[in-house]
């Protein structure tokens, strides 16, 4: 029986590796680096393919396993990482990743039975299991599909239509019907916020440092949410600047106004007729939970996004290894 696995989330700008107890899904140890897929691809390309691409990427995975193995939690556990499979989600299956695996065209089953899964070996003694992304006719995802598989454990109404709301830099709204993922949309909410707050004319009017629990910050966040329901985002966003110039609204309050404005614009497309599950972690959870309450969107349950990812990787591992 496989007692442990290594959960790897390899995104565009970050790399995270965790040692997981396979049955309880307890995280025994974790390591994170900024060695994301984009930088890895540039490094591989820069060495002019002296080392074959798969070998180059696998070496990085092995180096991270070695680093994880040096952590005190792993040393105290007495667990050998040799031979433990690595389940890899995220951008590793993209055109700039470890291997390029085509997207699974929707629909795909909530149990993951028809996702493309590839097992690699031979580079070192840890087999690597990679999960493909998914696509519609005009939208794509990589990484979120694994979280969707993990969400099945928490869904109480899988035989009816429902929605998964996944905040992030590029939030996903995912539609599930008849235990299949039937559709999704990607939004640029987080990236637009970073661009507007950091590189636009609004940058001098916005400043992090406030707290949503502060009633005044919460009120400005609500004002942004409500403005998004009534106006044009191209005009409403400029009001962040005029609020400061004309009304001396402090930059930390404008931070929450802009956040509410963008999140409110995103959430305008949520179908309030179907149950909504919020799949989130960290600061996004409070922001979206608050936003949904203000906008009258009922949340059936909040699912921890990290737990969903690990549970989804467990589902994939059981299908591939068949030993747990």
- Domain residue spans of the chain: 4-142, 189-304
What does the alpha-carbon distance between residue 8 and residue 18 come to, in Å, rounded to a whole number? Answer: 7
Q: What is the pTM of this model?
A: 0.92
Per-residue pLDDT of the chain (324 residues; tens, 9 = 90+): 578 999 999 999 999 999 999 999 999 999 999 999 999 999 998 886 678 899 999 999 999 999 999 998 899 889 999 999 999 999 999 999 999 999 999 999 998 888 989 998 766 889 999 999 999 999 999 999 999 999 999 998 777 899 999 999 999 999 999 999 999 999 999 999 999 999 999 999 999 989 999 999 999 999 999 999 998 999 999 999 999 999 999 999 999 999 999 999 999 999 999 999 999 999 999 999 999 999 999 999 999 999 999 999 999 998 876 534
Predicted pLDDT at 49: 62
- Dihedral sign of CA atoms 23, 29, 32, 36 in order: negative
Give yes or no on whether 4-142 and 189-304 have one common fold: yes
- Assign 137 to helix, strand or coil: coil
Predicted pLDDT at 1: 55
CATH superfamily, with its number, for domain 4-142: 2-keto-3-deoxy-galactonokinase, substrate binding domain (3.30.420.300)
What does the alpha-carbon distance between residue 129 and residue 307 come to, in Å, rounded to a whole number? Answer: 19
Give all strands (DSSP E) within the chain, no chain letters.
4-10, 15-21, 27-33, 86-90, 104-105, 108-109, 117-120, 128-131, 134-135, 140-141, 162-166, 172-177, 180-186, 276-280, 299-304
* Fold annotation for 189-304: Nucleotidyltransferase; domain 5 (3.30.420)
Residue 118 DSSP symbol? E
């Amino acid at each position: 029986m496989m007692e442990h696995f290594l959960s790897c989330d390899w995104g565009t700008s970050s790399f995270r590796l965790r040692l997981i107890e396979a049955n309880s899904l307890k995280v025994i140890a974790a390591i994170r680096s900024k060695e994301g897929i984009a930088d890895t691809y540039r490094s591989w390309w820069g060495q002019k393919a002296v080392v074959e691409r798969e070998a180059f990427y696998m070496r990085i995975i092995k180096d991270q396993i070695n680093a994880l193995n040096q952590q005190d939690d792993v040393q105290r556990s007495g667990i050998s990482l040799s031979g433990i499979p690595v389940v890899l989600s995220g951008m590793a299956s993209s055109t700039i990743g470890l291997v390029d695996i085509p997207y699974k065209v929707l629909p795909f089953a909530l149990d993951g039975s028809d996702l493309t899964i590839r097992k690699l070996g031979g580079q070192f003694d840890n087999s690597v299991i990679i999960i493909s992304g998914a696509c519609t006719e005009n939208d794509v995802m990589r990484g979120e599909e694994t979280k969707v598989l993990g969400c099945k454990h928490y869904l109480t109404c899988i035989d009816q239509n429902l929605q998964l709301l996944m905040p992030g830099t590029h939030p996903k709204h995912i539609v599930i019907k008849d235990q299949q993922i039937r559709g999704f949309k990607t939004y640029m909410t987080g990236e637009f916020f970073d661009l507007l707050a950091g590189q636009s004319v609004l940058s001098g009017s916005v400043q992090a440092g406030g707290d949503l629990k502060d009633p005044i910050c919460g009120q400005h966040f609500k004002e942004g949410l409500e403005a998004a329901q009534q106006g044009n985002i191209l005009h409403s966003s400029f009001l962040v600047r005029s609020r400061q110039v004309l009304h001396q609204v402090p930059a930390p309050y404008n931070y929450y106004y802009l956040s509410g404005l963008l999140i409110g614009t995103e959430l305008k497309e949520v179908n309030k007729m179907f149950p909504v599950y919020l799949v989130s972690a960290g600061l996004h959870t409070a922001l979206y939970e608050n936003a949904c309450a203000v906008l009258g969107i009922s949340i059936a349950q909040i699912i921890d996004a990290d737990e969903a990812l690990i549970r989804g990787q467990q589902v994939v591992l059981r299908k591939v290894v068949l030993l747990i």
